[in-house]
DNA sequence: TTATGTGCAAAAATTTTGCACAAGG
DNA sequence: CCTTGTGCAAAATTTTTGCACATAA
């Protein structure tokens, strides 16, 4: 099991609800896409859309909830769940599974990049390169399909300069997240 | 909600437990890999390994449990969960997420194949080709990682020879067998 | 014999929902 | 208005675990 066992403190503490304190732009990138998709832009959605727009990682629902709550505590986890599901259906968000039990999200239009997950630490490294996708698209084409999107997750382990390509990797000390 | 809402009948009915009726080979492909990984080959594991070896689809735990129980009812879901987790850690199995909430599994060495999901029908088409993975492995290597496994899911749409490239992708259709 | 594995049921953890109320267009 | 969204808490699902007993090596 990956060292992703954070015990996420339970929900928000009651009694400190507040309206948007930080300036939430009325038209974050994601928010714009929502409108285009014909969704009602409620205060909650605007905040969640904003949070998603400025995120440069792959937050899970609990994390999104935390970030959104920080801006406007009048948001519930249920809404976050409902929102990401909706946005995924609309094709605005993409769901990822990096292991660790929770679904994680990122904006769909973040380019042709791949996620390389360190199986020991759980850390996620991203990198770009059009070639692999180009190849895959070509193969799909050959089967009569136009590639619409893709989900590519690679699992790797830090390679040691010397001792390479010998005995199958066995136990390695897992480092923290 | 998609038609993936199979309500998996609850666990096994008590009172009809039986020992392996069908001939479970002592050395299915997966079983062999287990031994190589230094795992004890218990009766349960042998059955589960067998089931996995002959599966040509991507069963989830509940389904594996059903198939295994059919052969030897002295197996519990807990063991199936423990086993797939173990085999995944050993790199013998790979976990897939085709949407639908449950993790699905397939043998790791089923070749370098990809899953192309038809976004309109949800149908899954598989195809092989080593090149893309070779490329990705190379890129990972450059970042200092040995590629351990990968999960590549492509979403495509049947290409029509003429009428192509009009409206953007709309309806996303998850799940599929 | 002894470290491992397993069944069972209870517990966790994550996600979904029913319902009454709120709010966008 | 009236459809759509939301909070809350309860429910549903999927996965993990504690413990006493079983079993492979």
Out of A47-56, A112-121, A163-172, B7-16, the most confident range is A47-56
- Given a contact cutoff of 8 angstroms between Cβ atoms, the answer to whether A23 and A50 are in contact is no
User: Is A103 within 7 A of strand C by CB distance?
Assistant: yes
Contact check, Cβ <8 Å, A136/B150: no
Residue nearest to nucleotide C6 (CA to C1'): B79
Alpha-carbon distance of B157 to B120, in angstroms, equals 7
Interacting residues of B35 by C-beta distance below 8 A, sequence separation 6+: B41
Q: Calculate the alpha carbon distances from A130 to A56, A70, A123, A156, B115 in Å.
A: 20, 37, 23, 20, 19
Distance measured from the CA of protein residue B85 to the C1' of nucleotide C14, in angstroms: 18
Residue nearest to nucleotide D22 (CA to C1'): B42
Nearest chain B CA: its distance from A103 CA (Å): 10
- On the question of pLDDT at A154 being above 70, the answer is yes
Nearest CA in chain A to B132: A132
pTM: 0.73
- Determine the pLDDT at residue A18: 55
**Core vs surface per residue B91-129: b (16+ CB within 10 A) or e:** bbbbbbbbbbebbbbbbbeeebebbbbbbeebebeebeb
Per-residue pLDDT reduced to its tens digit, B56-95 = 889 999 999 999 999 998 999 999 999 999 999 888 998 8
User: Is B177 within 7 A of strand D by CB distance?
Assistant: no
- Determine the pLDDT at residue B6: 35
Contact check, Cβ <8 Å, A148/B155: yes
Distance measured from the CA of protein residue A55 to the C1' of nucleotide D22, in angstroms: 51
Contact check, Cβ <8 Å, B135/A139: no
Per-residue pLDDT reduced to its tens digit, A46-79 = 999 999 999 999 999 999 999 999 999 899 999 9
Residue nearest to nucleotide D13 (CA to C1'): B101
- On the question of pLDDT at A172 being above 50, the answer is no
- Determine the pLDDT at residue B14: 39
Q: How far apart are the first and last CA of chain A?
A: 12
- Determine the pLDDT at residue A161: 63
Give the nucleotide at minimum CA-to-C1' distance from A40: C24
Picking from B139, B151, B172, the nearest residue to A153 by CB comes out as B151
- Determine the pLDDT at residue B164: 42
Alpha-carbon distance of B61 to B82, in angstroms, equals 10
- On the question of pLDDT at A152 being above 70, the answer is yes
Distance measured from the CA of protein residue A171 to the C1' of nucleotide C24, in angstroms: 56
Give the nucleotide at minimum CA-to-C1' distance from A97: C14
pLDDT-based confidence at A41, cuts 50/70/90?
Answer: very high
User: Is A108 within 7 A of strand D by CB distance?
Assistant: no
Alpha-carbon distance of A120 to A176, in angstroms, equals 9
- Determine the pLDDT at residue B173: 35
pLDDT-based confidence at A113, cuts 50/70/90?
Answer: confident
More confident residue, A127 or A4: A127
Please list the pLDDT of chain B residue by residue as tens digits (177 residues): 333 333 333 333 334 455 555 567 778 999 999 999 999 999 999 999 999 999 988 999 999 999 999 999 899 999 999 999 999 988 899 888 776 778 899 998 777 888 888 877 767 888 989 999 999 999 999 999 999 888 888 888 898 764 444 444 433 333 333
More confident residue, B134 or A119: B134
Picking from A125, A148, A156, the nearest residue to B147 by CB comes out as A156
A78, containing H or E segment: helix A77-89
């Amino acid at each position: 099991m990956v060292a992703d066992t954070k015990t996420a403190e339970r929900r928000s503490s009651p009694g400190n609800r507040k309206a948007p304190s930080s300036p939430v732009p009325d038209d974050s990138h994601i928010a714009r896409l929502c409108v285009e998709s014909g969704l009602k832009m409620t205060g909650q959605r605007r905040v969640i859309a904003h949070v998603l727009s400025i995120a440069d990682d792959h937050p899970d629902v609990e994390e999104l909830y935390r970030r959104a709550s920080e801006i406007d505590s009048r948001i519930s986890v249920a809404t976050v769940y409902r929102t990401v599901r909706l946005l995924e259906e609309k094709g605005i968000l993409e769901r990822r599974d990096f292991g660790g039990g929770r679904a994680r999200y990122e904006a769909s239009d973040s380019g042709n990049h791949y996620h390389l997950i360190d199986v020991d630490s759980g850390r996620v490294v991203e990198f770009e390169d059009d070639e692999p996708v180009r190849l895959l698209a070509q193969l799909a084409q050959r089967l009569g399909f136009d590639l619409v999107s893709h989900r590519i997750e690679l699992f790797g382990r830090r390679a040691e300069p010397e001792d390479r390509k010998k005995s199958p990797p066995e136990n390695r000390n897992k480092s923290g997240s």
